[in-house]
């Protein structure tokens, strides 16, 4: 009798586990980010948006580098006042460059985060549609899964849904 009960519990457990396994899907997020046309459009838009600021930073960096090279090349032949003036100019340029660089990095970071949040809303909506269509109860990113069958991967369906 005990053996029959243990066998019945085992069968019920295995059946429920296989039923649960059938309601799980896997998504390759790396593939979503590398294959999505929306990500490419976001990158292009951010590059276009921040290219003037980057060009300005490059100009400031080149001016600073040029003045540093001028200082190092001519420091032995320059007068004390010219040397002090150039050192002061280099210090001011360096401070301005660091300020502009910090401002630029913060603006880029903020814009990237906003775009990422909007993109993730699109991804989540696509995942939800695919999950409902396939009657899946749980979707996991594939990098958090130790093992899964290829049949559980819904990445292509999610990418198609995002188009």
In a domain, 9, yes or no: no
12-43 as b/e: b if 16+ CB within 10 A: eeeeeeeeeeeeebbbbeeebeeebebbeebe
Question: Which run of H or E residues covers position 125?
Answer: helix 80-134
- Distance CA(103)–CA(50), nearest Å, equals 12
> Is residue 13, in this structure, part of any structural domain at all?
no
The verdict on residue 6 lying in a domain is no
Q: Which domain holds residue 42?
A: 24-162
CATH code, domain with 74: 3.30.910.20
Q: Is 6 a residue whose pLDDT tops 90?
A: no
In a domain, 4, yes or no: no
Give the Cα separation of 107 and 116 in Å (integer): 14
The pLDDT of residue 16 is above 60: no
Q: What is the pLDDT of residues 106-152, one digit of tens each?
A: 999 999 999 999 999 999 999 999 999 999 999 999 988 888 887 88
Q: Chain-wide mean pLDDT for the chain? A: 87
Q: What is the pLDDT of residues 96-111, one digit of tens each?
A: 999 999 999 999 999 9
101 within domain boundaries: yes
Separation between Cα atoms, residue 116 and residue 83, nearest integer Å: 48
Structural domain includes residue 1: no
Domains of the chain: total: 1
What mean pLDDT comes out for the span 58-74? 94
């Amino acid at each position: 009798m005990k053996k029959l009960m243990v066998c019945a519990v085992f069968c019920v457990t295995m059946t429920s586990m296989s039923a649960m396994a059938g309601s799980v899907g896997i998504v390759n997020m790396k593939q979503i980010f590398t294959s999505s046309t929306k990500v490419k459009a976001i990158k292009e838009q951010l590059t276009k948006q921040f290219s003037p600021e980057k060009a300005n930073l490059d100009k400031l960096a080149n001016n600073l580098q040029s003045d540093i090279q001028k200082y190092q090349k001519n420091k032995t032949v320059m007068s004390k006042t010219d040397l002090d003036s150039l050192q002061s100019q280099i210090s001011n340029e360096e401070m301005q460059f660091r300020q502009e660089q910090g401002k630029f990095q913060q603006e880029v970071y903020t814009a990237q985060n906003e775009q990422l949040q909007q993109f993730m809303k699109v991804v989540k909506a696509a995942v939800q549609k695919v999950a409902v269509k396939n009657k899946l109860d749980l979707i996991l990113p594939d990098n958090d899964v130790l093992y899964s069958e290829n049949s559980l991967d819904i990445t292509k369906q999610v990418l198609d849904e995002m188009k």
